[in-house]
Amino acid sequence: MATPTSQRIGIWIIAVVLTLGTLGSFLVMALSVQNQSSDKATIQKEYSQYQTAIAAQTKELSDKYYTTFNQYVYLPAAFTAADVTKLTTNDLKVGDGEVLTSTTAYNAYYIGWNPKGVVFDGSISNGALKAPLAGGNLIAGWNEGVVGMKIGGVRELSIPSDKAYGATGSGDNIPANTPIKFVVMVIQKVADVPIPAELLKYYQSQSNG
């Protein structure tokens, strides 16, 4: 039996609506992918620019301080753990800048070693200095040990385990209840390289996700 004209028109309308709906979905998906690709490209570009700025700052500081700090690369050596029962300091070079208090903002270069003389971390790599460490949120022995230094100075810190990593330790080279030593050079607080807006937004979305 032939389909009435009104029904045929209704079927066509439904077909058109379904087709447009499908095309609309594809369009939304395509735009979403395009936007994601654009966002990804922006983030990658900003990340590259950020890393370039960090590298430039790191090199500038290394060129300025490497010769001075490299003089102390010989210091790491074995020591008797039982002898380090309290925090002690030894100024190797007195700076000529601001005197550090417990609240002073500063940056630092360092070399740290354990009683066997094994270096577990440090700022020197391939004949240059890595990005300097920001002072403040560090182990108690470091935070207390640098107080009284002058910017530009170098100090050796002998830190008992209770002011270092205590009963927890830190990795293979700092077992539980191990005293450690550092040679530290403090420099003026350097300006933070600003994180680009889209990159910061991306980091925040990842941390919240």
Residue 157's pLDDT is what? 98
Is residue 91 domain-resident?
Answer: yes
Tell me, yes or no, whether 62 lies in a domain: yes
61 occurs within a structural domain: yes
Instruction: Give the integer Cα–Cα distance in Å for 108 and 189.
Output: 9
Using 50, 70 and 90 to split pLDDT, how confident is the model at 204?
low
203 in a structural domain: no
Tell me the whole-structure pTM to 2 decimals. Answer: 0.76
Within-domain flag for 161: yes
Residue 96 lies in a domain: yes
Could you give the residue numbers annotated as active site? 110, 120-121, 139, 165, 182
The string of pLDDT tens digits covering residues 100-118 is 999 999 999 999 999 999 9
Range of the domain at 113: 1-190
CA angle 197–61–188, rounded 5-degree value: 85
The predicted structure's pLDDT at residue 37: 64
Residue 9 has pLDDT above 60, yes or no: no
| Angle (CA) 178 184 188, round 5° | 140
> Per the domain annotation, does 37 fall within a domain?
yes
Asked if residue 74 belongs to a domain, the reply is: yes
What domain count does the chain have? Answer: 1
Q: Strands 154-159 and 180-188: what pairing? A: antiparallel
Q: Which residues of 7-37 are buried (b: 16+ CB within 10 A; e: fewer)?
A: eeeeeeeeeeeeeeeeeeeeeeeeeeeeeee
CATH number of the domain within which 102 lies: 3.10.50.40
Contact 86, 132 (CB under 8 A): no
* Helix H or strand E encompassing 19: helix 5-69
Least confident of 18-22, 68-72, 127-131: 18-22
Binning pLDDT at 50, 70 and 90, where does residue 10 land? very low
